[in-house]
Amino acid sequence: MPESSFDELIEAMKAAAGILRGCEIPFVLGGGLSAWARGGPKSEHDVDFLLRPEDAERALAAFDEAGWKTERPPEGWLYKTWHENGALVDLIFNPASGPITDEMIGRAPVAEVMALRVHVSTLEDVLVSKLMAMTEQEPDYSSLLEWARALREQIDWEDVRVRTEASPFAKAFFTLVESLGVVEPAATAQK
């Protein structure tokens, strides 16, 4: 299935937010659209909504009831649903960085994204989630590098380092962005 256009993603984001709000399910805009909302590059892959594990089944049922195509993939950490325009919306509740919590939702500031007031994931949470999800089968740093270059002044890099220190892929990422001059080396490495 071809990737959606940016306009199709925005249309799906607004419609999906309406469904979640109608069910009174707290959620956060994550992934590429959250980075774009803070000045990063446009995303044309999918819409990521983060919600608590205890709300996931109810959310999927609401999309089913609204007539959206839905899927429970075998991974077990997200559900998928598609807007009628073909745009994919991921309902993420238990990513590799850990389950979505009230604390994470609470620290996500409210921002206006294409006339929609919505909680938008912190950049640190987006980067941690992406780095912790990397595997040997998919070590793709392209979006992370774009976000790091475009948004570097807005990111608490020490927070990201601490939260991803167990990941060899995060270590490789920091070696790369430090060598490229995008991010200053860690304070402990400078001594």
The answer to whether residues 25 and 113 belong to one domain is yes
Domain boundary among 82, 100, 121: 121
Contacts of 159 (CB under 8 A, 6+ apart): 124
Distance CA 64, CA 48 (A): 17
- CATH number, position 67: 3.30.460.40
Grouping H, G, I as helix, E, B as strand and the rest as coil, residue 182 is coil
What would the pLDDT profile of 164-174 be if each residue is shown by its tens digit? 999 999 999 99
The answer to whether residues 112 and 152 belong to one domain is no
What would the pLDDT profile of 12-31 be if each residue is shown by its tens digit? 999 999 999 999 999 999 99
The answer to whether residues 13 and 70 belong to one domain is yes
Q: pLDDT averaged over the chain?
A: 94
Average pLDDT of span 72-96:
96
Average pLDDT of span 135-150:
91
**Which of 42-51, 112-121, 146-155 is predicted least confidently?**
42-51
pLDDT at 139 over 70: yes
- Smallest CA-to-CA distance from 64 within 103, 19, 99 is with 19
Domain of 1, in residue numbers: 1-121
Cα angle 94, 78, 95 (rounded to 5 degrees) comes to 30
Average pLDDT of span 41-68:
95
The answer to whether residues 147 and 114 belong to one domain is no
Residue 72 lies inside a defined structural domain of this protein: yes
> Could you tell me the pTM of the whole model?
0.91
The answer to whether residues 73 and 131 belong to one domain is no
Grouping H, G, I as helix, E, B as strand and the rest as coil, residue 99 is coil
